[in-house]
Chain A
Amino acid sequence: MSLPYLASLALFSIGLYCILVKRDLFKVIYGICLMEFSINLFLVSLGFVTGGEVPISPTGTIVVDPLPQAMVLTAIVIEFATTVFLISVAIRLFKQYEDTDISKMRRLRG
């Protein structure tokens, strides 16, 4: 059963779709958040062992993989930092354009 993989990929696709078709600054940020969620979910699913224990003072030998969890922990924090930065840029852009429509922010082209 690879349902978690599929679910995370679905989430990934929804996030990508959101960035592609939404013109709102914040919707773009949401899309990015969704993609990040999906990757986190994907990585955690990678480390899951059926019937495994929580990797905190395990008693048996079947334990879920702690490495992906550690990776995801790092990744979550990094993603948080990026998102906050992105939001601050969005606020700034809104102040300059008085609008959140990304399709109007096309000064740089060609």
Chain B
Amino acid sequence: MEVLVHHYAPLVAIFLPILSSFFIPIIGRFHSKLGAYFATIILLITMGTSVMLLPIVLDCECLHLIYPWAEGINLQFEIYADALSVCMLLLTSFLCLLAAVYSIHYMAQKEGGARYYSLFLLLSGSMMGVFLSGNLLQFFMFLELTTISCFLLILHYQTTAALKSAYKYFIMIHLGALCLLTAIGTIYVNVGELSMASLGKLLSNVNGEWLTAAMALTFVGFGIESAVVPLHVWLPDAHSNAPCPVSAILSGLMVKIGIYGLIRFFYGIYGFPYAWGSTIIILGALTAFIGVICALVQTDAKRLIAYHTVSQLGYMIMAFGTGTTLGLAACLTHLANHTFFKALLFFVVGAVIYKTGTKDMDRLGGLRKYMPVTFICGLVASMAIAGIPPLNGFFSKGMTTQAVFEVSPVMSSIAIIVGVMTLLSFTKLLYMIFWREKSLETDKRMSMKRRIPASMKVPMIALATCCVGFGLFAHQYLEKIISPIINGLNLEGELYLPSIFMPSPLTSLSYVGIVFAGVVWLKRQRIIAIMSHKPFSALHHCFKEELGIDAAYSRLAKSVVSVFERGRSIMSGHLRDYVAYLAALLFVLFLYIALLRGFQWTF
């Protein structure tokens, strides 16, 4: 049995979803919901395999399987599973399963169900592939497969906004992937090896300019993937326009691939570049700050949550940038925790959309009476993301702040400020959607009598339980899961866990945050009134437009297009011009040869 698990579980985890995705269009013909159930079962099996793998790797044992693949370029199909990979695998299969269950009713009324589930399985399978890849090129290939499937999932509704954001998503992510590919190519050309297991040793003693270039390209590549400012512009659009379960996957897992890749490449392969540490931390702080500021001014609930993803990713980047054991632990913990509460938030908003047909917070209000379960889940998630003890977000944020504090105290203050603003913004979200008394302007097609089905409630409750559970049992969690991961990456060191009972400047600051939030809550009417004042509204506009970063990108794209648009005149349709090109080419080449060879004829 053990041997079977060793050899086949990783393959099953990758290829079962990918291969079964081809059958869904066929199965979906018989019954509309059949595809959904099929996908759920497949994902359940996948999750089973990752659960089976977990005990093996937690004993610090790595699975390294090699299969022949492309001999022509010395490439094997390698599976490398250490504690980190398998934990990511478990997280992926868990969230994908929940999202699939959530989709059963949520996506039922929309057409193209077979396509949706097929792509969904493809996406989950390829994510597993990313986490289990033992070879850089294979990693890259699975990464691109996730991008393709995500692209198609984002445009699922085919509204103009969805199409635009899917387009932007694919182009930007592919740009990142190309940077990554160039980095991989640099390594391959210089070292001739792509296996992650051996590269770490090979590169540890190398010191070359090309290595720096490769590292920079890798950072940019994963930076786009994990939405580091100013490369984040794809994220808010993509995450807010996708169907809600897909948004949950995108925010919960897809962006984490970037973080995972950073950890894998920088800790596992290159060795952490301490010289860049402060730059990375500053970038992370900037990401966190800009993300939260932009989130504050949103009225679209999904967009607000999406900006918070940017902001939370900033935390992870900051923690990553410290380069310490604590920082890495904080990064990983926050990664997992963020998956739970962010997915939960998207599920909650999805439920709201399901019930009311809108995600515009200005049109919502007072929903706590109509959907109490959803409200409680939303409350839990909001408190978790805002870092209120004893929920899971508190611990990981505390660890991050502490880790950053040890390296750069100034930046840790930004982390705290961002935490307070996060709190503020989720206060707004909860207030506007669930609390305030307002007559609802619901979509006419939707009926308020429509009940939230169990298939949507169960995933929400499960995630809320996770948020609470991982908060309450944070110590055990760190000990049992995070420590083996850190050990697996060959890093030793003490893990520090902030506690609500332990007096430290950071924990007390988070209390200040809570008090502040309370004040905000009490004075909410007045604050909203102030916010709508003129100087604020100008600022408001500025943040809503993302400080012009997005516009700069589209200007760039437009200028590229317009260059070629103007260049079209060389294809004048005039035969004379065409023949002239030919003659000119003849002339130039002859001149070149004549000058090159001079008069020293050899033949």
Contacts and interface: CB of A to CB of B under 8 A. Distances in A.
Question: Do A and B have CB atoms closer than 8 angstroms in the complex?
Answer: yes
Contacts of B575: 19, 28, 102-103, 105
B369 interface: no
B574 interface: yes
B576 interface: yes
Interface of B: 568-569, 571-576, 579-580, 583
Contacts of A107: 573
A28 B572 CA distance: 18
A106 B579 contact: no
Contacts of B572: 106, 109
A109 B569 CA distance: 8
A45 to B, nearest CB: 20
The 8 A-B pairs with the shortest beta carbon distances in the complex, nearest first, are A109-B573, A106-B573, A110-B568, A19-B579, A102-B575, A109-B571, A108-B573, A110-B571
Nearest to B586: A16
A59 to B, nearest CB: 34
Nearest to A102: B575
B583 A20 contact: yes
25 contacts: A16-B579, A16-B583, A19-B575, A19-B576, A19-B579, A20-B576, A20-B579, A20-B580, A20-B583, A102-B574, A102-B576, A103-B574, A103-B575, A105-B573, A106-B572, A106-B573, A106-B574, A108-B573, A109-B571, A109-B572, A109-B573, A109-B574, A110-B568, A110-B569, A110-B571
Interface string A87-104: 000000000000000110
A6 to B, nearest CB: 16
A103 B576 contact: yes
A57 B127 CA distance: 81
A103 B572 CA distance: 10
Nearest to A25: B575
A106 to B, nearest CB: 3
B576 A21 contact: yes
Contacts of A109: 568, 571-574
Interface in A54-103: 102-103
Contacts of B573: 105-110
B586 to A, nearest CB: 9
A109 B580 CA distance: 16
Contacts of A23: 576
A110 B568 CA distance: 5
A40 B583 CA distance: 20
Nearest to A107: B573
A28 B574 CA distance: 13
Q: How large is the interface on A (under 10, 10 to 19, 20 to 34, 35 or more residues)?
A: 10 to 19
Given A102-B574, A105-B573, A107-B573, 17 more contacts: A16-B583, A19-B579, A20-B576, A20-B579, A102-B575, A103-B574, A103-B575, A103-B576, A105-B575, A106-B574, A108-B573, A109-B571, A109-B573, A110-B568, A110-B569, A110-B571, A110-B573
A72 B576 CA distance: 28
A107 to B, nearest CB: 7
A23 B577 CA distance: 11
Interface in A10-42: 16, 19-21, 23, 28
B429 to A, nearest CB: 50
Nearest to A16: B583
Contacts of A16: 579, 583
A23 B579 CA distance: 12
Nearest to A109: B573
Nearest to A13: B583
Nearest to B576: A20
Contacts of B580: 20
A108 to B, nearest CB: 5
**Interface core residue of B568, B569, B571, B575 (most chain A CB under 10 Å):** B575
Nearest to B583: A16
A105 B572 CA distance: 11
A108 B575 CA distance: 11
A16 B574 CA distance: 15
Contacts of A20: 576, 579-580, 583
Contacts of A105: 573, 575
Contacts of B571: 109-110
A20 B574 CA distance: 10
A21 B580 CA distance: 10
A91 to B, nearest CB: 17
B579 to A, nearest CB: 5
Contacts of A103: 574-576
A42 B568 CA distance: 38
A19 B571 CA distance: 18
Contacts of A19: 575-576, 579
A105 B568 CA distance: 17
Contacts of A102: 574-576
A20 to B, nearest CB: 5
Nearest to A103: B574
Q: Which of A102, A106, A109 has the most CB of B within 10 A?
A: A109
A106 B576 CA distance: 11
A19 B580 CA distance: 9
A70 B576 CA distance: 33
A90 B575 CA distance: 14
B583 to A, nearest CB: 6
A103 B575 CA distance: 7
A92 to B, nearest CB: 16
A27 to B, nearest CB: 11
Nearest to B575: A102
A106 B571 CA distance: 10
Contacts of A108: 573
A102 B575 CA distance: 7
B594 to A, nearest CB: 15
B499 to A, nearest CB: 69
Nearest to A106: B573
A19 B577 CA distance: 10
A102 B579 CA distance: 13
Nearest to A31: B579
A26 to B, nearest CB: 13
Contacts of B569: 110
